[in-house]
Structure 1
């Protein structure tokens, strides 16, 4: 029992926390350099689970992904250390709770609550990494969109491209694409680029397969020294024969997002209350701290 208690106090040491913070920060900085120079490699994590992505690249190019397990190791250690520190502090406060008014007790308890919520946010990120689901589905008018692993499906009612006005130098370019999906209940999901929609506990986003670079023929509009040209802008237009990219639907299921958003919201509320209000001797809150 004494060995467990000793291990508990060692893992909760603030010096261990300082080391883990430095190690995690250094690992993140190292990973940022790798991600900058190998963007396409690490971009895959936006649409793949970590347990599917890492073994493949570890077997092929370990020199580029070696820092990922280290980061998980340091963050796990930091989470354990944070939990022990917050638990020890909360236990001390609970033993002395009758010696303070309720307001002051809650004020002193707030930092520990923030640390526990921080752990919930970390678990939310971990849930996203290991349990998130991303599906890319091609779209065709009057086609059907089936979600893998579920009986739920949607029908594509229409796909409409909106172009820039004729008076614009981009008049033959697509300004926006709108897609309407019909659910089994008869409801309609309206989609557009850069405007994700949350429905049925998942996000729906429009994606696109871009045409090959060789298909684009470029020409420059009238020279800047011509009177009909707006000298403040020189536009480059694609040839009208350029092939259009095919429309795709990205369906994202992120079970960790609710934990992250809820945790961040609670932390902001608690921090605002902690710094703006000081518990006084009567257990009520006053704004004396904010005035000084």
Structure 2
């Protein structure tokens, strides 16, 4: 058992797993590029539901997805074993190391552990995340999957660019006002998602097909015939396109963001300490007596 533990934590195994993951991802890009609609559905379903639907139906196209998960799982295990082994070695030398050097040496292991937490956050998103699309109309009432809270669409207000401008009569912004059971107002705008009851609410629209310009042929006896092109583009009051609400539940997002922030802080502290000690021409954690002996 100890030998298996040692082999799984070997750095050479990590290199092989990284190469395998890169090769699998590179191969998968070709399948995903040729089957965009199929793989885009992964953004709207949990990975287990997507695999249950497509793995048996199209194994020749989606085989690389479960393979990638297995490789990433093995890489996570390798990282955990390697970081744990180093952490135990450093802790065993705690009494012989100054506090500064002890913390300095622990930072790489802490970064590895945090990396594993980030991977678990991504796995949580793949396994438990959800995506729901709802069509909205004024005074409409709706509920979100997994939540009994009712919502009502109080108003949908479109604002337009000025008519004389190049974007005249085009929608510049949409404001949707919702209310919950407590009559609290929830205001949504494009590019400004709102977190409600643990879910993110985004706005989207179904864009209607534009009317194409039609050419009006001048009469044959018209002296201007073949001298100018005349097009008919009747002025119409801009129509409101269908308003959509995207409800996204991503339990792993907070874990990922916290993990990335922690890694940033750890790496910043690591390099600041290293730079400061290099600037003063001494090694990290050296006691003053040891430095004096070197002088």
Normalising to structure 2: TM-score of the pair? 0.83
Unaligned runs of 5+ in 2: 215-232, 275-283, 289-295
Q: 1:257 aligns with which of 250, 253, 259?
A: 253
Shift, 1:122, TM fit: 0.2
Structure 1 position 192, deviation (Å): 1.6
Q: Partners of 1:208 and 1:150 in 2: how far apart?
A: 24
Q: 1:121 aligns with which of 118, 123, 134?
A: 118
After superposition, residues 134-173 of structure 1 pair within 5 angstroms as 134-173=131-170
**Max Rg structure:** 2
TM-score, normalization by structure 1:
0.84
Q: What is the aligned counterpart of 2:26 among 23, 26, 29? A: 29
Partner of 1:287: none
Matches within 5 A, 1:1-40: 4-40=1-37
CA distance in structure 2 between the partners assigned to 1:165 and 1:242 by the alignment: 12
Change (3 A) 1:69 1:98: same
In the TM superposition, residue 116 of structure 1 has moved relative to its aligned partner by 0.3
In 1: Cα distance, 2:129 partner to 2:151 partner: 21
Taking only aligned residues, the RMSD between alpha carbons, in angstroms, comes to: 2.1
Q: Distance in 2 between matches of 1:265 and 1:192?
A: 27
CA distance in 1, matches of 2:286, 2:141: 66
Is 1:280 equivalent to 2:277 in the alignment? no
Give the Å deviation of 1:134: 1.4
| Secondary structure in structure 2 of the residue aligned to 1:191 | strand
Cα distance in 2 for residues equivalent to 1:259 and 1:169: 44
Verify the 8 A CA contact 1:217 1:242 in the aligned structure 2.
Answer: no
Matched positions, count: 261
Residue 60 of structure 1: how far off its partner (Å): 2.6
- Are 2:221 and 1:216 aligned? no
Decide whether the 8 Å contact of 1:172 with 1:240 is kept in 2: no
